[in-house]
């Protein structure tokens, strides 16, 4: 039987904060050295599968062999998706599978469509509560576990300038909740829209990311945080690339350039 494995390369995704960065005038004298896991993410791949309890859509079920194959192919990290109401035990099993294969793992949350339809305070409260719980639960895992706090806000209804501002409130609430529990957990913050780079300025700035932690530290001081953004979307013709072997159809999507 043919299977569909969503196997999405993101090694070309731009993670904006590298080892050293340009800062605003009041930050010019600072040199930024980020958490080492972010270098591993540059050699990563999306493994977009489901777990027995749920998935973002109907997909191939997760198998630890997917992660072994990624490691054998030379990738250093994997990225998986977690619906807001997804099964936590199954997601934790994926974390263990990745770490067992010496892979970093990015857990990326799919938010709720209801957040764009209700007062944004409902969404900020829910996303903060979820990430606070996960941060406490998974604090035992090393820095190769990365939290990507929200995937593609426009995909859950945040479209347009005012909606972009609301989406940034979700990002900020999530990161604030994480930092209150763990000041060092590596975090990826995306842009409004579909993580589009055109929205980096003015949205992914201290104007909207107002969270604080530690001794009055904030967004520009947070060396365990990087930004992920996409510049261009391309799909293979008809969405499928035929390959021989045990997985006869491999669905590919190069989401970032």
Biggest distance spanned by C-alpha atoms of the chain:
60
pLDDT for 94: 96
User: Are 215 and 172 spatial neighbours (Cβ–Cβ below 8 Å)?
Assistant: no
Q: Is the pTM of this model over 0.75?
A: yes
pLDDT for 229: 62
R_g over Cα of the chain: 18
At residue 41, φ and ψ (nearest 5 deg) are -65, -25
Whole-number Å distance between alpha carbons of 82 and 247: 23
Secondary structure (DSSP) of the chain: ---EEEEEE-TT-EES--SS----GGGTT------THHHHHTTEEEEE-B-SS--SSS-PBP-HHHHHHHHHTT--EEEEEEETT--HHHHHHHHHHHHHTT-EEEEEEE--GGGGTS-HHHHHHHHHHHHHHHHHHTTTS-TTEEEE--S-GGGGT--SHHHHHHHHHHHHHHHHHHHHH-SS--EEE--HHHHBGGGHHHHSSTTT----BTTTB-GGG-TTEEEEEBS--EE-GGG-EE--SSSSEEE-EE---
Topology classification of domain 4-254: TIM Barrel (3.20.20)
Domain boundaries, the chain: 4-254
Whole-number Å distance between alpha carbons of 15 and 40: 11
pLDDT for 176: 98
At residue 99, φ and ψ (nearest 5 deg) are -65, -35
Q: pLDDT tens digits, the chain, 257 residues: what are they?
A: 444 344 444 433 444 433 334 445 544 455 667 888 999 998 999 998 888 776 666 678 899 999 999 999 999 999 999 999 999 999 999 999 999 999 999 999 999 999 999 999 999 999 999 999 999 999 999 999 999 999 999 999 999 999 999 999 999 999 999 999 999 999 999 999 998 888 988 999 999 999 999 988 999 999 999 887 664 433 323 333 332 332 323 333 333 32
pLDDT for 240: 31
Whole-number Å distance between alpha carbons of 213 and 225: 12
CA–centroid distance for 226 within its chain: 10
Whole-number Å distance between alpha carbons of 130 and 226: 20
Quickly tell me which residue has 């001081």 as its tokens.
Answer: 221
pLDDT for 230: 61
pLDDT for 11: 39
């Amino acid at each position: 039987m043919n299977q569909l494995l969503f196997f999405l390369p993101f090694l070309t995704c731009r993670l904006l904060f590298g080892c050293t960065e340009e800062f605003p005038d009041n930050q010019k004298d600072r040199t930024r050295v980020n958490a080492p896991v972010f270098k591993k993410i540059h050699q990563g791949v999306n493994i977009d599968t489901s777990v027995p309890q749920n998935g973002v859509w109907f997909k191939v079920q997760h198998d630890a062999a997917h992660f072994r194959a990624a490691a054998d192919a030379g990738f250093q990290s994997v990225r998986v998706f977690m619906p807001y109401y997804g099964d936590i035990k199954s997601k934790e099993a994926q974390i263990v599978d990745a770490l067992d294969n010496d892979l970093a793992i990015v857990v990326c949350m799919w938010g709720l469509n209801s957040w764009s339809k209700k007062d944004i305070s409902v969404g900020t409260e829910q996303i903060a509560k979820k990430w606070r719980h996960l941060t406490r639960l998974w604090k035992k895992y090393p820095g190769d576990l990365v939290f990507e706090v929200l995937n593609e806000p426009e995909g859950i209804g945040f479209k347009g300038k005012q909606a972009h501002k609301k989406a940034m409130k979700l990002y900020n609430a999530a990161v604030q909740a994480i930092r209150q529990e763990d000041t060092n957990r590596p975090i990826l913050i995306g842009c409004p829209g579909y993580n589009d780079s055109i929205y980096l300025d003015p949205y992914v700035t201290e104007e909207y990311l107002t969270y604080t932690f530690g001794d009055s530290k904030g967004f520009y001081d947070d060396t365990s945080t990087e930004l992920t953004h996409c510049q261009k979307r391309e799909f293979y013709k008809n969405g499928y690339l035929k390959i021989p072997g045990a997985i006869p159809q491999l669905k590919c999507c190069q989401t970032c350039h």
